[in-house]
Structure 1
Amino acid sequence: MTKKTNQTAEIFAWDENQRQELIGIFFWGFALTKIPSGRLAEVIGSRKVTGYSMLLASILTILTPWISKSNYYIFLSSRVLMGFLVGASWPAVMPLAARWVPPHEQTIFISCIASTAVGAGIAFQVSGFLISALGWKSVFYVFGGVSTLWSLLWFGLIYDSPQQHPRISPEEKDLIESQIRDVKIRNVRLSEIPWISILTSGPVWAIAAGQIAVFFGYMTLSNEIPSYMDQVLHLEIKQIGIFAGFPYFGAYFLSLASSHFADYLRKSGKLSTTAVRKIFEAVGLLVPAFSMLLLVFWGYLTPVAVTLFTISITTCAISSAGHCTNMLDVSPNFAGTICGLVNTFSSFTAYISTEMVTALLRKDNTFKEWRFVFAIVFGVEVVATGVYLIFCSGEKQSWDSVKTNEGREEIRPLKRKNLNQNLE
């Protein structure tokens, strides 16, 4: 959508600062809904929170070409709203996982959900061809339409618990409930959330460190790889689509493979859950980190840069068997709240990433300037690895239990209740 000179009325003359602002402002809205959406899903269910947020985001995507032509600041505001809607989806899935997925299969499930990388890969691949053939507007129409269809399928297929699903067989419902029987999930009131315990928990901060580092590195590359390939490596638009999208397919399959292996190690008793989480998180952070370090020295070479970008984005998916699933380990009851809290911090780092790129690429957008970007990502990922290895735990924390006034653990199964009653 942006060119150095206005070739047609359909191309915008945004400078580098405006371009990065349009990318970065999305993450302000993205961050603001993390905690509320996770908590809201614990109260009214993941089906509504994720479904309606994605449906509205899909409609806004389709309207983006018209919004972008109206006014720069209106377009900027729409990007905040888009982040607000999209940001609600991921934390809201955690309560759904806790009520549907047995503990020994949670790593695989979360890896499937976290492997949205395949969507990014398809988007990069298809967008290059769509732009070449039909122009940039077609990208918003096509992906907005696909996302709308997905939202409708979500409402038809997804329910918050086996008890609520109208088409599940009695045998399947009994099987699922027998496997999650030991995981006592309660419909917890807002006043019962142990905020102080959560905020002072070492394992929670370990998860936050891992998520911040992965998100910082992942979003820096996702947002900036096309510009780097265009302005530093001087590749054509179709080549950029192919090379920028390819790593995400590898990330998807590696995420699934690593999750299967992680759950195998846990079920076999060969390693504790804590050890499994630490190993997979360390690999998922350190391999991308050292890929960034190599880019500092040889990133100007196209084959080397494309290879290292691929390795970095692909291997960071291994962390889905680390900190992502770790949220369900430490607290099945408050996984949505923790996910929202952790993702709030990580979302702001994505905005910081765009500001960092703007500050460092002030002159000619050359490899010399990009070296500092790669070096900073390397440092963040190495430091986060150390934090995670020190504070990580794979055990359910004592504060996950909800106590009655008499000191007994209270079990309250998920029910459909009025929202105001749950917020008392």
Structure 2
Amino acid sequence: MRACMGVSLVAMTTSDTTHTTLYNHTNITSDNANKYKVDGVLSALLLSYPYPIFKWNKKTQDAILSSFFWGYVVLQVPAGQLAHRLGARRLLAGALFVNALVSFCLPWAAYYGGWAWVAVFRIKQGLSQACIMPGIHTLLGKWTPLRERSRLTAWVHGGHALGPVLGLPVTGFIASSPLGWPGVFRFYGVLAALVGALIWYLTADTPAKHPYITYGEKLYIENDIGDDSQKPKTVPWRKILSHRGMYAIIAAHIAQVWGQIILYGELPYFMDKVMEVNIKANGMLTALPFLVMWFTNFFFSWVADKLIVKKILSVTHTRKLATSVGSLSAAIGLIVLAFVPKKLVIVETVLVVLVGFKVTTHAGVYVNNIDISPNFSGAMMSISNFISNLCASLAPIVTAFILTDVTSEYLWRQVFFVAAGIYFVSNLVYLILGTAERAEWNDLPKKQITINVEECNPMLDTEGK
């Protein structure tokens, strides 16, 4: 749903300057009447071809793309509290239902309200999707025993890699079909509603609340994680923010998000302007790194679990190793990209190797909050996700400041060096401060029971007096 907007804008907009700014029901002229003409109820509801085309300039389109993250960042920290109080099941299902409704209605917002209403709708999607990561980690905190934690968490985070692989070509296919660009948002609206329904009917906040779980499985999970009845009622924000592991996670998370923006947002421009290859126009070139990431994701998470189960490394050292492999491979890969010859095969190979190893962080920093506090892993994720996205939002600004000439290899090297430096520094902070030890504030303190010996003596009298 995040990736579809960029592709959809290609089908929604035109650079034809001979037409007016917006083709909608308030601005139909003889010049554009042949482009779009309201003809009946289906046409007014954008359910039949042809569909309106909008004259939105690059700044307007960038504002629409950015509007999602305005909402996404704002609700990150409150989402952690919501996940703790409402439960992950309600929060995730509710977020998906909101996304479904907003996505389904977005074509009408574009036609009847213009780009401003599209931005408002995308902000709403950002607000609701801010609940996804805290909700997911709250759920993982209740369901993932230590010996399976890396694999289960990586399986979930693997959706980040698989989503673009499936989403980008599906979006393009629907946009070029008779359903047109409105069909893209309706398709994802229906899909979000279906996934929300699955979460609502098939999941539970904890093993104890699941109606179909076996007693043996429930006991297996609770013996490892703890009984949910001892869950603290309020989030200890002060203790979380004073824990050194929280700052280690934040540092590593900032580098991961910054790197993602450079790799997935800026690298295509490097390929286009310097390599003279439009990577976005080649579906295979676009999908291959994500596919490799999806497969290596499971291998590295399996290795991480084995290192813990076989007691080859402690949990803390396993998380540090996984994070270091992902961060340092990404840093080295970016430096290599800055100096490789202008050959597509070489660049694509470096990119595939870089992304394939970078995914090891799914078994490192991304699961670390669950190790520290299963009860408050959602709150910890909301904090790190908020700060990392806020800091990484500077990546496009820094890149634009450096790239005074987008065709200059020298300037692109500086962009890659900055990203590599952030990876190195953040990983060093994580190695120094990182820990996977269970925090003492994760559970309620044990109740101290005071016994009145004189009162109990008559009950303990064995002589029958």
For structure 1, the residue ranges without an aligned partner over 5 or more in a row are 409-424
Alpha-carbon contact 1:20-1:358 (below 8 Å) kept:
no
Q: Does 1:142 align with 2:190?
A: no
Equivalent positions of 1:86-125 (< 5 A) are 86-116=129-159, 117-125=161-169
Aligned match of 2:220: 178
Deviates more, 1:320-329 or 1:294-303: 294-303
Query: 2:351, 2:55 → 1: CA distance?
Result: 28
Amino acid at match of 1:243: L
Query: 1:146, 1:298 → 2: CA distance?
Result: 41
Question: CA, structure 1 residues 64+182, in 2 after alignment: closer, same or farther (shift >3 Å)?
Answer: same
Specify the structure having the higher radius of gyration (Cα).
2
Question: CA, structure 1 residues 133+343, in 2 after alignment: closer, same or farther (shift >3 Å)?
Answer: same
How many aligned positions are there? 402
User: After TM superposition, which residue ranges in structure 1, 4 or more long, deviate above 6 angstroms?
Assistant: none
Query: 1:375, 1:289 → 2: CA distance?
Result: 8
Equivalent positions of 1:11-410 (< 5 A) are 12-15=55-58, 17-69=59-111, 70-116=113-159, 117-133=161-177, 136-168=181-213, 172-184=214-226, 185=228, 186-190=230-234, 193-229=235-271, 233-235=275-277, 239-298=281-340, 300-361=342-403, 369-403=411-445
State the shift of 1:219 in Å.
3.2
C-alpha RMSD of matched pairs (Å):
2.8
Amino acid at match of 1:164: K
Amino acid at match of 1:5: S
1:248-278 deviation per Cα after TM superposition (whole angstroms, max 9, x unaligned): 2221221111111111110111111111111
Using structure 1 for the length normalisation, give the TM-score: 0.85
Query: 2:405, 2:212 → 1: CA distance?
Result: 60
State the shift of 1:337 in Å.
1.1
Question: CA, structure 1 residues 401+152, in 2 after alignment: closer, same or farther (shift >3 Å)?
Answer: closer
Alpha-carbon contact 1:125-1:242 (below 8 Å) kept:
no
Query: What SS does the aligned partner of 1:77 have?
Result: helix
Deviates more, 1:30-39 or 1:60-69: 60-69
Percent identity for Structure 1 against Structure 2: 25
Deviates more, 1:77-86 or 1:221-230: 221-230
Query: What SS does the aligned partner of 2:53 have?
Result: coil
Query: What SS does the aligned partner of 1:115 have?
Result: helix
For structure 2, the residue ranges without an aligned partner over 5 or more in a row are 1-8, 18-34, 36-51, 451-465
Query: Which of structures 1 and 2 has the larger relative contact order (alpha carbons within 8 angstroms, sep 6+)?
Result: 1
Query: 2:325, 2:449 → 1: CA distance?
Result: 42
Aligned match of 1:418: none
Question: CA, structure 1 residues 194+406, in 2 after alignment: closer, same or farther (shift >3 Å)?
Answer: farther
Query: 2:127, 2:212 → 1: CA distance?
Result: 32
Query: What SS does the aligned partner of 1:180 have?
Result: helix
Query: What SS does the aligned partner of 1:297 have?
Result: coil
Using structure 2 for the length normalisation, give the TM-score: 0.78
Alpha-carbon contact 1:296-1:374 (below 8 Å) kept:
yes
Alpha-carbon contact 1:127-1:241 (below 8 Å) kept:
no
